[in-house]
A = this chain, B = another copy of it.
């Protein structure tokens, strides 16, 4: 990542392209996944680049938009091939490399970021996994989510099997993965896999409206909100009320400290 991302500017900035291109406008970073052929040949480089972005993200970035260009991004992890090795790695080394790949995407779930995936065409591979890891998914009406990799083995290891279940439940997730079919945008919206579906000419405006809403809300309020919503599914009612109390006390005190 270029260190220029550290300063907010009104003009977009561009990074050199290794399959992903970063731009920043104030508190909003856009990661554009592009160049499918480069991706197919170089997923290790792409994943390393995404991981670097996550680690180096300045604290004043509040929204990350992952924008998949119309071409499919199909890089899938094949431990013995993608990494350029002809031999199978020892398990510990293999786990280490997978962890690094997971870190290319898992920061999209950080509570201090709202992450939005934009899918314009057919999404599979890394683009699909990143879209599933994002908080929200905006799809063009012609978009398709392609799950053929989930049944081929080894199972994609970028968190998608959990994100999919969280979005559509176990039964629908299994049906989609085991048949490996494509989910069209209209079905994705109906079953909750897409947050919103918009005709392509209106897609950027729809995403911009959500981004603007996030940025207009107090930063601390959005962080507490995301953390509470993300933890809710694993909390008992009593645990969650306790978490809400703690958040409310933190919020009231920081409001007071700002002298409001």
Interface residues of A (CB under 8 A from B): 77, 79-80, 88, 91, 94-95, 98-99, 102, 106, 109, 114, 135-137, 150-159, 161-162, 164-175, 177-180, 191-192, 195-196, 209-210, 213-214, 217-218, 220-222, 224-226, 228-230, 232-237, 240-241, 244-253, 255-256
Contacts and interface: CB of A to CB of B under 8 A. Distances in A.
A158 B253 CA distance: 18
Most buried by B among A91, A136, A154: A154
Top 3 A-B pairs, shortest CB-CB distance: A153-B221, A154-B251, A165-B232
A106 B178 contact: no
Contact of A171 (B99, B106, B136): B136
A152 B252 CA distance: 12
A178 B224 contact: no
Contacts of A175: 135-136, 195-196, 210
B237 A179 contact: no
A232 B157 contact: no
24 contacts: A79-B248, A88-B252, A88-B253, A88-B256, A95-B246, A98-B245, A135-B174, A135-B175, A151-B213, A151-B221, A151-B222, A153-B224, A153-B225, A154-B247, A155-B221, A157-B247, A159-B237, A161-B225, A161-B232, A162-B228, A167-B171, A171-B192, A178-B210, A191-B192
